[in-house]
Chains A and B, each alone.
Chain A
């Protein structure tokens, strides 16, 4: 059996969060009545000329700096020629030979638990271009309806190197990129509205082979789930084709979410020949060092910087730091928890956010922003574990109580429900004596060398204490008494 290796590269179109279009002064607001935001430039009326939006360039520079790329001192707009009714000029203004952003990389966390790892995915380039309009094919007496509101909306097309090796890595990359463009405020990331969409180039090759296999491009995936499903289906399809002796033809395919299958849109033979050439209507875009320095000064602390700080200042592991900085919401939440619980408790804070809270949110299908337990409440709870007011086991109870709003704070719940840990050694000793007297059989077993019997006795004491006895003290006392 041949072992197959999957090779994936991703092209992402991120709509930039500007007020106006990339080459005209029309609004980019989503949801307006058809064609009310399509001006003469967007409609390609004769005699109009494009004028570049400085805000769109600002976004491209922000992105370039955030991924450690080179921001080109000089980049050039080119015409990509093809005919489609939602592209009135007959060409899309894009960038070809000289893009605005070159290189860079993103660090992505892949997988969960023991199988989790980090990977650096390099980027090839990112370039500015304009979006097309929308075609509506339903019910216009055999005709198509064209809405050009979206025509001319600024896009940043972000192209990765073909460095992902599984659908999980592809999704992790797409999520990391999605979080980053939102983090630096250049894209609202709304996938339903098409603000962030991915094309996946997928090929397979026998493990160990140096050359890439022939790739097929899956177009327009607008959710992380579809991205994964489409790639998984495509990979299996390609492997089957090759194993049955057929060759993969380079092609563009679409994913049908209803059937879960990819189907061919066009093969290489009838693929577009775009005949790129520099757009004579636009001069080269020159970005000086002063402009880059200004944008640099306006950038927030980036995920990578925050990650380093979490490791250096708070002593978190690389994996924890990457996971917590995977998006702005979780980083902010975690920092707010630490602000209450203190830096010394950063590690338990990370665990509570990444494990307990994440699992609870997941169970309810909620986002972090909708968490019924606030960062301040969680921080307060962690403080009480740290100062031995409650045990970890009881803390989970308190967390549940916070979740269902049984009290405003951990302190209130601990007080109201009498969950304070028993640390008074006299009280614990009384409990231990009581249990030892009542469980002679277990005691005998332990003395005969059965360590399991000890755990049973601990369990009995904890039960008698309703879980509130300090587990460490119970252990020590019990062992002392049994061995004494």
Chain B
């Protein structure tokens, strides 16, 4: 399997990364290299092997349902680009 330039541009758009035509060419090469690795791995017979969702074979640690955080809005908003009335302001988005 290999990616087309169009697919590279689509992935870049989904990730909101701007790539030039030259960069797309280079990226296509990189990504196709990764696909070759995946193909090599897929050639291995893994029947009977349970898929892992994580590299470490341990389970999720849980925390009790308790409120442990206090209000630190002032500190967080001190480093935000723009705030008003306690809100973070961003370029207008309406769907």
Interface residues of chain A, those whose CB is within 8 Å of chain B, are 18-20, 24-27, 33-40, 43, 45, 51-58, 74, 76, 81, 83-85, 98, 135-137, 140, 142-148, 265, 273, 275, 278, 280, 282-286
Contacts and interface: CB of A to CB of B under 8 A. Distances in A.
B45 interface: no
Contact of B16 (A37, A53, A57, A83): A83
Nearest to B54: A283
Contacts of A142: 92
Query: Which of B64, B65, B66, B91 is most buried by chain A, counting CB atoms within 10 A of its CB?
Result: B65
B71 interface: yes
A74 B52 CA distance: 11
A98 B71 CA distance: 35
Interface string B30-70: 00000000000000000000000111101111111111110
Contact of A283 (B14, B59, B65, B68): B59
**Chain B: interface residue count, which band?**
35 or more
A147 B85 CA distance: 10
B73 A81 contact: no
A36 B90 CA distance: 18
A34 B85 contact: yes
The 8 A-B residue pairs with the shortest CB-CB distance, nearest first, are A55-B65, A25-B68, A145-B87, A34-B86, A286-B59, A39-B69, A54-B62, A76-B53
A286 B59 CA distance: 6
Contact of B69 (A26, A34, A55, A144): A26
Contact of A53 (B63, B76, B92): B63
A283 B86 contact: no
B90 A85 contact: yes
Nearest to A154: B65
B68 A36 contact: no
B89 interface: yes
A35 B87 contact: yes
B61 A51 contact: yes
B87 A146 contact: yes
A265 B90 contact: no
Contacts of B65: 18-20, 53-56, 58
B26 interface: no
Contacts of B2: none
Contacts of B91: 143-144
Interface of B: 14, 16, 53-56, 58-69, 71-73, 76-77, 82, 84-95
Interface of chain A, helix or strand or loop or mixed? Answer: loop
B53 A26 contact: no
A282 B92 contact: no
Contacts of A140: 84, 87, 89
Nearest to A274: B14
Contacts of B66: 19-20, 25
Contacts of A85: 88, 90, 93
Nearest to A90: B16
A35 B80 CA distance: 12
B5 to A, nearest CB: 18
A145 B92 CA distance: 8
B21 to A, nearest CB: 22
B30 to A, nearest CB: 18
A275 to B, nearest CB: 7
A53 B61 CA distance: 9
21 contacts: A18-B65, A20-B69, A34-B85, A34-B86, A35-B77, A36-B73, A38-B76, A52-B62, A54-B64, A57-B62, A58-B65, A136-B87, A137-B93, A140-B87, A143-B90, A146-B90, A148-B88, A265-B95, A283-B59, A284-B53, A284-B54
A233 to B, nearest CB: 20
Nearest to B89: A143
A102 B1 CA distance: 34
A284 B59 contact: yes
A309 B43 CA distance: 58
A437 to B, nearest CB: 80
B85 A145 contact: yes
Contacts of B62: 51-54, 57
Contacts of A37: 69, 71
Contact of B73 (A38, A56, A144, A285): A38
A96 to B, nearest CB: 10
B84 A144 contact: no
Contacts of A18: 65
A40 B59 CA distance: 24
Nearest to A278: B53
Contact of A20 (B16, B58, B68): B68
Nearest to B84: A140
